[in-house]
Amino acid sequence: MEHQEHSISIWFFIGIELVLYGLLILGAGIYNLFVPPANPVVLYKLHSGIWWGAVLFIGGVIYCLKFKPKKKA
Amino acid sequence: MKGPASLVSLGTIDVLIIAIYFALVLIIGFYLKRYTKTGEDFFMAGRGMTSWIAGLSFVAANLGALELMGWSAATYQYGILATHWYWIGAIPAMLFLAIIMMPFYYISKTHSVPGYLQLRFGSSSRALSAVSFGFMTVLMSGINMYSMALVMKVVLGWDIHFSIWVSSVTVAVYVGLGGLLSAIFNEVLQFVLIWAGALLIPIIGLIEAGGWENMVARIKQNVAGMDYVHLWSGTGSFSANPMGIHWVGLVFGLGFVISFGYWTTDFLVVQRVLSAKDLRSAKMAPIIGAAFKMMVPFIVILPGLLGLAVMPGLVGETQAIATGGHSYNEVLPLMMARYLGPGLLGLGITALIAGFMSGMAGNVSAFATVWVYDIYKPLRKKVTDAHLVKVGRWTTILGVLVSIGTAYLVMQFASIMDYVQALFSFFIAPLLATVLFGMLWKRATPAGGFWGLLAGTVSSIGMWAWVKFINPAALSIIALSPDAKPMSENMFRALWSWIIAALVTVVVSFLTKPKPENELVGLVRGCTELPSEGHLKLVQRPIFWAGVVFAVFVILNVIFW
């Protein structure tokens, strides 16, 4: 669909999803930083939710900006 | 919805992440409905996909949830040998499809692989291939659906009926609305999600194990006596590796017949590439797919190896049920539960669901196309394009309903699963011989193509029945060794049935009259002038990138020899 300028690119949809997931995972990671879970996962000290959530969020923002829908001519 | 005996427990954030995924795939389906008005739109995605989208969709249609869980489990059971299904069992075939076969599929403007057989060999070969493909595809879809629902029950404690109906209705809605276009868009989305959800496991796992070298040392300590960490060095003898396999079977059975059969003639994957916008994109798509396929072991095989290192003691299903312990079939969800906290766990589970749905969407969209173009349309004298689209939408829903019916049938009679999975492999190897001779040998005749396909299929079924019902010891005859195991039998059976199909095709072709050359233009090498790529820069040529991918493939095999 990249050839049809009036349509929304699949990469934009992917960007949206990554932004949402990044925010949720980053938020959960930060929350757990202050309120540690009762049964922490192995290597909890890495706080993978924070940096992985941030990676997804930043990647999603880049895709949203790069592939945002164009207005019809 | 949730039972007490589940492997993992989801929190609110995790459930929200799964819900967002379902909402987005449905939104994409409704959005794309407006762009699927003609048959070309609905069944071929308008033949407008870029090489990247077609390539990712090509590899995603194969990357189902059972693939992820199954090969992680196989790695725990057999070690790094499972990687062969991703490298020797995929990469050469994908590159061959791109460089040698794609021009003929694409230039002939066929809608399907059975459609190519119609053009090359006539209606008998097309009908045999279409009926067997359609039948097997919906049955396999149902089996995968049931297996996935079972996984969701074990992992999350979800009700099996809930999993079957929610996931299949979602697939029916988005594929029914947007056809192949919708299936492809969602496959690309699902491919990204699978990586986003599964990539953390090997990263954190390697940190816990202390790096690759320490992981290997731990595996050797945990499972002493057998080589679990080398790809080829233990395959000189059936008894020197945990899979009971020989390199001859791996190279010729898996690397040639099974792999080439699946990746170059199974319409489920070939359909994705046929949607490319031009021939160069159609050739680049499998090459891009091959590059990503080569990386998949990082999220599938490595978690299995890490499981061997950090979670020793997982046992087979029967023993796990008897002792109340965990089976190695659960190694991937166990690794998820081990490393993934709130939110990340939801993403990991979403990756599994996404994998399942991409596989199912692939099945039903391919089924709808073959049903409409290769079974329904030839039976009708005059049909309009709009009518075909309408039938395509209904066929999609019908395909999902038959899949659901199969899932419930398997729930009642579990042994069906073994039979149908074996049945599916019956058609792959002979079809490869038929398509290869059709494309590369202009002397192959319509009668040769049909009788070769039929003889190969019947002989494959015969060999399977011989071992299954008459004489289990015949396995050692088919696989050429008393030490051979069932995995090896599959490969040798495929090899024999390919050879039989090829021989019959050649013999019958020499005894019958070939088609005139002017009828083979666009279908056969030697009769077709292929577009030159001489005006393209080196880095724009598919052959260059195929060479790069193949070089990396060789290097990886040497490194892990």
Kindly report, residue by residue over B126-138, the tens digit of the pLDDT.
999 998 888 888 8
**What is the pLDDT at residue B420?**
61
Task: Decide if pLDDT at B101 tops 80.
Answer: yes
A70 and chain B in contact, CB less than 8 A: no
**What is the pLDDT at residue B509?**
96
Instruction: Kindly list the residues from chain A whose CB atom is less than 8 angstroms away from the CB atom of residue B204.
Output: 42-43, 46, 48
- Candidates B13, B14, B190: best to mutate against A (most CBs of A within 10 A) is B13
Contact between residue B173 and residue B264 where contact means Cβ atoms under 8 Å apart: no
Kindly report, residue by residue over B406-460, the tens digit of the pLDDT.
888 877 776 666 666 566 668 888 999 999 999 999 999 999 999 999 999 999 9
Contact between residue B37 and residue B390 where contact means Cβ atoms under 8 Å apart: no
B101, part of any domain: yes
Instruction: Kindly list the residues from chain B whose CB atom is less than 8 angstroms away from the CB atom of residue A10.
Output: 53, 185, 188-189
**A42–B208: do the CB atoms touch at under 8 Å?**
yes
A40 and chain B in contact, CB less than 8 A: yes
Q: Token pair for residue A59?
A: 């990647």
Task: Decide if pLDDT at B480 tops 80.
Answer: no
**B21–A56: do the CB atoms touch at under 8 Å?**
no
B453, part of any domain: no
A66 min Cα distance to partner chain B (Å): 16
B496 min Cα distance to partner chain A (Å): 43
B363: enclosing H helix or E strand: helix B344-370
**What is the pLDDT at residue B248?**
84
Q: Report the predicted TM-score, pTM, of the whole model to 2 decimal places.
A: 0.88
Instruction: Kindly identify which residue of chain B lies nearest to residue A9, measuring between CA atoms.
Output: B185
**A43–B342: do the CB atoms touch at under 8 Å?**
no
**A49–B343: do the CB atoms touch at under 8 Å?**
yes
B193 and chain A in contact, CB less than 8 A: yes
Q: Report how far residue B486's alpha carbon sits from residue B478's, in angstroms, rounded to the nearest whole number.
A: 10
Measure the N-to-C terminal CA separation of chain B; round to a whole number of Å: 46
Give how far Cα B71 sits from Cα of A19, B66, B297, B559, Å. Answer: 30, 8, 9, 21
B443, part of any domain: no
Strand partners, B354: none
**What is the pLDDT at residue B2?**
43
**B204–A3: do the CB atoms touch at under 8 Å?**
no
Query: Which residue among A14, A37, A44 places its CB closest to the CB of B189?
Result: A14
Instruction: Kindly identify which residue of chain B lies nearest to residue A39, measuring between CA atoms.
Output: B341
Give how far Cα B308 sits from Cα of B77, B205, B311, B312, B407, Å. Answer: 9, 11, 6, 5, 32
Range of B136's domain?
Answer: 12-415+542-559
A44 and chain B in contact, CB less than 8 A: yes
Give whichever of A29-43, A51-65, B240-254 has the largest mean pLDDT.
A51-65
**B343–A44: do the CB atoms touch at under 8 Å?**
no
**What is the pLDDT at residue A40?**
86
Task: Decide if pLDDT at A72 tops 70.
Answer: no
Give the three-state DSSP class for B276: strand
Measure the N-to-C terminal CA separation of chain A; round to a whole number of Å: 17
B16 and chain A in contact, CB less than 8 A: yes
B302 min Cα distance to partner chain A (Å): 17
Q: What is the pLDDT of chain B when averaged over all its residues?
A: 87
Q: Report how far residue B249's alpha carbon sits from residue B227's, in angstroms, rounded to the nearest whole number.
A: 18
Q: Report how far residue B327's alpha carbon sits from residue B147's, in angstroms, rounded to the nearest whole number.
A: 15
Instruction: Kindly list the residues from chain B whose CB atom is less than 8 angstroms away from the CB atom of residue A8.
Output: 31
**What is the pLDDT at residue B4?**
44
Q: Report how far residue B389's alpha carbon sits from residue B43's, in angstroms, rounded to the nearest whole number.
A: 8
Q: What is the pLDDT averaged over residues B132-148?
A: 83
Task: Decide if pLDDT at B261 tops 50.
Answer: yes
pLDDT above 70 covers a percentage of chain B that reads 96
Kindly report, residue by residue over B215-228, the tens digit of the pLDDT.
999 998 888 777 88
Task: Decide if pLDDT at A62 tops 90.
Answer: yes
Q: Token pair for residue B303?
A: 């978690």
Q: What is the pLDDT averaged over residues B533-543?
A: 87
B18 min Cα distance to partner chain A (Å): 10
Output the 3-class SS for B157-217. CCCHHHHHHHHHHHHHHHHHHHHHHHHHHHHHHHHHHHHHHHCHHHHHHHHHHCCHHHHHH
B312, part of any domain: yes
Instruction: Kindly identify which residue of chain B lies nearest to residue A56, measuring between CA atoms.
Output: B196
Contact between residue A65 and residue A16 where contact means Cβ atoms under 8 Å apart: no
Residues 4-23 of chain A with CB under 8 A from chain B are 4, 7-8, 10, 13-14, 16-18, 20-21
Q: What is the pLDDT averaged over residues B501-510?
A: 96
Q: What backbone torsions phi and psi does residue B523 show, to the nearest 5 degrees?
A: -120, -30
Q: What is the DSSP string of B517-558?
A: GGGSTTTSTTTS-PPP-TTS-GGG-HHHHHHHHHHHHHHHHH
**What is the pLDDT at residue B416?**
65
The domain tally of chain B equals 1
CATH of the domain at B133: 1.20.1730.10
Which tops the pLDDT comparison, B290 or B112? B290
Task: Decide if pLDDT at B337 tops 50.
Answer: yes
Give the three-state DSSP class for B235: coil
- Candidates A52, A63, A64: best to mutate against B (most CBs of B within 10 A) is A52
The complex's ipTM? Answer: 0.91
- The mean-pLDDT minimum among B67-71, B112-116, B242-246, B288-292 falls in B242-246
